[in-house]
C-alpha cells in the first residue's frame, strides 16, 4: 500500500503490548507499522456482508435442528405415547415400520419426530392418527383424549346387526376380533370393542341396549333382540367365522374405568374371557353362572314366555 504526501496524519497512542503485536505483524508481512495498522483498519470495513449473512443463516439452521422447541417436545410425547401403547402388542413396531405404513419416504424423518428434533406436518400427523386410530385433535393440539368412545345404535334387525358386527366405521376392513363388555358391579351399559389389523381398535357405547335387569320398555325389547341375534350367530354354521371373532368380558370397576379412560388399549384390560354372550340366550345354561349382579334376573326376564 502506498501513501501520498497529502494523506492526512493522525497521532495514535497504543498500549505497549498492542504496539509489540503490530511490530511483529508488520515485520512478518515486510511492511511498516503504519502500513500494517492501515491495512487492518481497511479490512474491518471490507467484510463481505453476503458471506456473513450466509454464515449466520447456517448457524441459525444448525441451532434450530438441535434445539428442542416446546412444540416438538409436545408432539414427540404424544407420538411416543402411541408407540409405547401399540408396542405392547407388536414388538417389531419401529420407525421404519411406521414410515412404511404411512408412506413416508425417509425413515430418518420419522425417527426425528419421536426424538423431538423435527416437527411433522399436519398432513403427516393425520396419517399417524389414521394408523393408530387416535383422536386427531389430541394428536394435533393435545386436546381431548388419545382414544374416544363412539356412541352408536345397535340394529335390532338380524341382517343389519350381522352387517354392523362385520363392518368398520373407519374403513379398516372387517374386524379381527369383537369384544362384548359389561361391568361386574353395576351392570348397565353395553360396550363393544372391535380390533382390526395392526391392533387398531374402535370402542362403542351401545345407546339402545342396557344390561340392567330393571330396564323395561323399548330398551328391554332391544336387549331381547340382541340376545336372539347372538343366538343366531352361535347356531348358524354360515356365521361360524363371525362367531370365532366374538368374545365377551365382565370387568371390575377399576378395569372398566381404565377401558373408558381414553388412555389405554382395550387389550391391556380385556384379559379374562367370560362366555356370557353364549349363555344369555341359552335357557338351559344361563342359570349356572352369576356373571354380574342381577345376571340371573336379567336372563329370567329375557326368557319370559
Task: Please report, for the chain, the start and end positions of each structural domain, with discontinuous segments joined by +.
Answer: 16-41, 70-141, 149-302
Q: Report the DSSP pairing between strands 149-152 and 201-210.
A: parallel
Dihedral sign, CA of 215, 219, 224, 229? negative
> What pLDDT is attached to residue 38?
78
Q: What is the Cα–Cα distance from 298 to 223, expressed in whole angstroms?
A: 10
> What pLDDT is attached to residue 67?
55
- pLDDT of residue 269 exceeding 80: yes
> What pLDDT is attached to residue 68?
56
| Grid cell digits, residue 143 | 386436546
Q: What is the Cα–Cα distance from 300 to 16, expressed in whole angstroms?
A: 109
Average pLDDT, the chain: 88
Per-residue model confidence as pLDDT tens digits over 43-97: 777 666 666 677 677 766 665 655 558 899 999 999 999 999 999 998 889 999 9
| Grid cell digits, residue 55 | 454464515
Tell me how far CA of residue 237 lies from CA of 2, 52, 179, 220, 243, in angstroms: 107, 79, 20, 28, 9
At residue 4 the predicted structure's pLDDT band, cuts being 50, 70 and 90, is low
Dihedral of the alpha carbons of 36, 38, 41, 45, in degrees to the nearest 10: -120
The residue among 19 and 239 whose pLDDT is bigger is 239
Own/partner pairs, 78-83, CB within 8 angstroms, 24+ separation? 78/138, 78/139, 78/142, 78/146, 79/113, 79/114, 79/120, 79/128, 79/139, 80/114, 81/146, 82/128, 82/132, 82/134, 82/139, 82/146, 83/114
**For 213, phi and psi rounded to 5 degrees?**
-65, -15
**For 42, phi and psi rounded to 5 degrees?**
-60, -40
Furthest CA-CA distance within the chain: 127
> What pLDDT is attached to residue 275?
94
- Mean pLDDT (whole number) for 28-51: 76
| Residue 188: its H or E element | none
At residue 121 the predicted structure's pLDDT band, cuts being 50, 70 and 90, is very high
| Grid cell digits, residue 221 | 325389547
At residue 2 the predicted structure's pLDDT band, cuts being 50, 70 and 90, is low
CB 206 within 8 A of CB 191: yes
* CATH code, 70-141: 1.10.260.40
| Grid cell digits, residue 104 | 413416508
Q: What is the Cα–Cα distance from 196 to 217, expressed in whole angstroms?
A: 35
- Mean pLDDT (whole number) for 283-302: 91
Task: Select from 211, 209, 172 the least CA-distant residue to 194.
Answer: 172
- Mean pLDDT (whole number) for 12-25: 81
**pLDDT above 70 as % of the chain:** 90
Question: What three-state secondary structure class fits 203?
Answer: strand
> What pLDDT is attached to residue 130?
93
Tell me how far CA of residue 267 lies from CA of 85, 273, 276, 280, 305, in angstroms: 10, 12, 19, 24, 38
Amino acid at each position: 500500500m502506498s501513501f501520498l504526501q497529502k494523506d492526512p496524519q493522525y497521532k495514535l497512542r497504543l498500549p505497549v503490548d498492542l504496539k509489540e503485536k503490530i511490530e511483529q505483524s508488520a515485520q512478518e508481512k515486510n511492511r511498516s507499522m503504519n502500513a500494517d495498522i492501515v491495512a487492518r483498519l481497511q479490512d474491518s470495513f471490507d467484510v463481505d456482508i453476503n458471506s456473513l449473512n450466509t454464515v449466520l443463516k447456517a448457524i441459525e439452521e444448525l441451532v434450530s435442528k438441535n434445539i428442542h422447541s416446546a412444540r416438538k417436545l409436545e408432539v414427540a410425547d404424544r407420538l411416543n405415547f402411541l408407540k409405547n401403547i401399540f408396542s405392547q402388542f407388536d414388538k417389531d413396531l419401529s420407525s421404519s415400520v411406521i414410515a412404511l405404513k404411512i408412506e413416508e419416504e425417509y425413515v430418518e424423518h420419522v425417527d426425528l419426530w419421536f426424538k423431538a428434533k423435527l416437527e411433522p406436518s399436519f398432513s403427516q400427523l393425520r396419517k399417524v392418527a389414521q394408523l393408530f386410530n387416535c383422536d386427531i385433535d389430541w394428536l394435533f393440539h393435545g386436546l381431548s383424549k388419545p382414544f374416544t368412545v363412539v356412541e352408536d345404535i345397535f340394529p335390532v334387525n338380524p341382517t343389519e346387526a350381522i352387517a354392523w358386527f362385520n363392518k368398520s366405521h373407519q374403513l379398516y376392513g372387517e374386524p379381527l376380533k369383537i369384544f362384548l363388555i359389561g361391568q361386574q358391579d353395576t351392570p348397565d351399559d353395553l360396550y363393544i370393542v372391535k380390533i382390526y389389523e395392526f391392533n387398531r381398535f374402535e370402542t362403542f357405547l351401545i345407546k339402545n341396549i342396557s344390561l340392567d335387569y330393571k330396564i323395561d320398555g323399548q330398551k328391554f325389547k332391544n336387549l331381547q333382540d340382541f340376545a336372539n341375534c347372538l343366538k343366531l350367530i352361535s347356531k348358524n354354521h354360515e356365521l361360524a367365522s363371525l362367531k370365532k371373532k366374538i368374545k365377551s368380558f365382565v370387568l371390575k370397576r377399576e378395569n372398566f374405568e381404565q377401558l373408558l379412560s381414553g388412555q389405554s388399549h382395550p387389550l391391556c384390560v380385556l384379559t379374562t374371557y367370560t362366555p356370557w354372550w353364549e349363555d344369555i340366550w341359552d335357557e338351559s345354561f344361563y342359570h349356572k353362572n352369576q356373571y354380574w349382579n342381577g345376571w340371573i334376573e336379567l336372563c329370567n326376564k329375557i326368557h319370559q314366555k
